């Protein structure tokens, strides 16, 4: 949670304590601020709302551990959704074509796992381990306040071969929402060199 969200968070926390007829001490506010620091403010706000409307535990003032549990559950769900997108792309597109996902965290996780072409070499026997490793990495990146720099695209075998021999690479294929994939590509850093943005806009199809 960024520092500029702290005033909003204090208002939210005060409102929650008022809802449960409890005073908010400076100590409690400090503990809450530190506990929520790794999470995005919109996700924190949603977690408080989910707790307050929970028929099982919503009648009690939440503790930081209660909200963290809800937030981590959301990260787990997002990690599973992201892996499903990767799994589907690997099986339908393969690793010969360069791709751009609509989520920069997917690029970070795949880079950590050895790259797009490396994933295509994993056996079916090792697939569950790969899925678990990917989801663990994804949850870790989601907990960061700011993600590190990511590659603009995940280079495929054909693109890599062409570039090594001085030929132009194929246009990358968007995985997911084409407009978000364009943004991931545009904001990515490091090699390989970028294509013109207008070309990505026109040539990046949506493979949802």
Q: How confident is the model at residue 139 (pLDDT cuts 50, 70, 90)?
A: confident
Are 62 and 16 a contacting pair, CB within 8 Å? yes
Last residue of a domain, one of 12, 28, 62: 62
Question: Is 42 a member of any domain?
Answer: yes
Q: What is the pLDDT of residue 103?
A: 94
The boundaries of the domain holding residue 87 are 77-203
Could you tell me if residue 70 is inside a domain?
no
- Of 42 and 198, the structure prediction assigns the larger pLDDT to 42
State the pLDDT confidence band at 151, using cuts at 50, 70 and 90.
very high
- Residue 174 carries which DSSP code? E
Please report which confidence band the pLDDT of residue 192 belongs to, taking 50, 70 and 90 as the band edges: very low
What percentage of the chain reaches a pLDDT higher than 90? 56
Q: Could you report how far apart the first and last alpha carbons of the chain are, in Å?
A: 31
Which is more confidently placed, 130 or 141?
Answer: 130
The angle subtended at Cα 125 by Cα 124 and Cα 127, nearest 5°, is 60
Number of separate domains in the chain: 2
Please, are residues 75 and 39 in contact by the beta-carbon 8 Å criterion? no
User: What pLDDT does 162 receive?
Assistant: 60
Both 31 and 82 in one domain: the answer is no
Do the domain assignments include residue 168? yes
Q: Examine the domain organization and report whether 107 and 135 are in the same domain.
A: yes
Q: How many helices (H) and strands (E) in the chain? A: 10, 2
Helix (H) or strand (E) holding 7: helix 6-19
SS3 62: coil
pTM score, whole prediction: 0.60
pLDDT tens track for 32-80: 999 998 787 888 998 999 999 988 889 999 999 999 888 877 656 788 8
Choosing from 39, 62, 85, the residue where a domain stops is 62
Tell me what the pLDDT averaged over the chain comes to: 85
Domain edge (last residue) among 36, 62, 88: 62
Whether residues 87 and 174 fall in one domain? yes
pLDDT value, residue 164: 65
Q: Residue 125 falls within a domain, yes or no?
A: yes
In a domain, 117, yes or no: yes
C-alpha–C-alpha distance, residues 97 and 117, integer Å? 9
Q: pLDDT class for 169, splitting at 50, 70, 90?
A: low
């Amino acid at each position: 949670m960024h520092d500029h969200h702290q005033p909003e968070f204090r208002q939210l926390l005060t409102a929650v304590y008022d809802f449960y007829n409890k005073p908010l001490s400076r100590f409690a506010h400090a503990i809450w601020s530190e506990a929520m620091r790794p999470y995005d403010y919109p996700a924190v706000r949603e977690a408080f709302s989910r707790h307050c409307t929970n028929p099982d535990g919503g009648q009690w003032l939440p503790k930081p551990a209660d909200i963290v549990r809800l937030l981590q559950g959301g990260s787990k769900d997002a990690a599973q959704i992201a892996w499903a997108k990767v799994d589907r792309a690997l099986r339908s597109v393969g690793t010969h074509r360069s791709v751009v996902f609509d989520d920069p965290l997917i690029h970070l996780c795949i880079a950590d796992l050895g790259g797009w072409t490396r994933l295509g070499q994993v056996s079916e026997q090792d697939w569950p381990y790969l899925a678990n490793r990917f989801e663990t990495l994804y949850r870790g990146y989601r907990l960061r306040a700011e993600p590190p720099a990511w590659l603009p695209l995940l280079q495929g075998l054909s693109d890599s071969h062409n570039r090594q021999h001085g030929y132009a690479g194929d246009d990358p294929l968007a995985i997911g929402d084409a407009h978000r994939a364009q943004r991931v590509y545009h904001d990515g850093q490091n090699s390989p060199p970028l294509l013109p943005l207008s070309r990505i806009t026109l040539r990046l199809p949506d493979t949802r």
